[in-house]
Structure 1
Amino acid sequence: MAAALKFMCVMGLIVLVSIAGLERVDAKGECGKSSPDNEAMKLVPCAEAAQDENAAVSPSCCAQVRNIGQIPSCLCAVMLSNTAKSSGIKPEIAITIPKRCNIANRPVGYKCGAYTLP
């Protein structure tokens, strides 16, 4: 009986350590604890501007891009995410949004997959 209780305690400790390790892995993603697909949902105001380079970029779109773009790897992951692709976002146009928003501290020259931020 004591051996079974000891085994269960050890297994419980292993499970707790594993869960804690998984949480730390999630926090190290491109967008911290949030996935690029979840962050892509915040860019709904950018949908038209990310499909047509001649479309006006709304102030709400620029605000979201400015916020997400504080971490260039996150912005890149968002623009290349499955959510962005399935919503018709064209990465070659989406990467022009920070420039079209006149974001002064945008990561010019940042490599985003096959694309480079202007």
Structure 2
Amino acid sequence: MVNFVRNTKMAAAVKFICVLGFLAVLSIAVIERADGASACGKASPDEEAFKFAPCAAAAQYEKAAVSNSCCQQVKRLGQNPTCLCAILLSNTAKSSGVKPEVAITIPKRCNFANRPVGYKCGAYTMP
């Protein structure tokens, strides 16, 4: 009887250790997956938003001219509308005074024929 109790406790301890090990491996896998899993690849939308400094005026005022350097940055990320949208809605963009309803018009104002027309970006749709 003593051996049975000892074996049962040992088996329970082994199962507990296995479950803890599995949870540790699962947690590491989730953390690794989250690292670099932003809409913009390894860079966060907030980090990418800093590259859009040339678009500051054009993202606040619809009548403002869009500079060539702004169009180049938008074209670089325009192939990935998910990233572009994440940048426009990022905390960095908001704190910089970007108006998403205006910023979303920049690809059209740059005269990009191959822009993501109709793409939903939060409450906004790309024209």
Give me the identity figure in percent: 70
Which structure has the larger Rg?
2
Which of 76, 96, 114 in structure 2 is aligned with 1:87?
Answer: 96
The separation in 1 between residues aligned to 2:53 and 2:108, in whole angstroms, is 18
CA contact (8 A) 1:49 1:57 kept: yes
Q: Where do 4+ consecutive residues of structure 1 move more than 4 Å?
A: 17-21
1:47-66 counterparts in 2 under 5 A? 47-66=56-75
The gaps in structure 2 that reach 5 residues or longer are 1-16
Q: Deviations along 1:5-47, whole A, 9 cap, x unmatched?
A: xx9xxx8xx58x8556423323222111111100100100000
Tell me the number of residue pairs that the alignment of Structure 1 and Structure 2 aligns: 107
Deviation for aligned residue 1:112: 0.3
Query: Deviation per CA, 1:52-109, whole angstroms, max 9, x where unpaired?
Result: 1111100000000011121101100100000000000000000000000011211000
Letter in 2 for 1:74: C
Q: Which amino acid aligns with 1:98?
A: P
Amino acid at match of 2:113: A
**2 CA distance for matches of 1:53 and 1:106?**
18
How far apart in 1 are the matches of 2:86 and 2:79?
13
Q: TM-score, normalising length from structure 1?
A: 0.81
- Please, what is the CA RMSD of the aligned residues? 1.8
The two structures have a TM-score, normalised by structure 2, of: 0.76
Partners in 2 of 1:106 and 1:95 — Cα distance?
11
Amino acid at match of 1:95: I
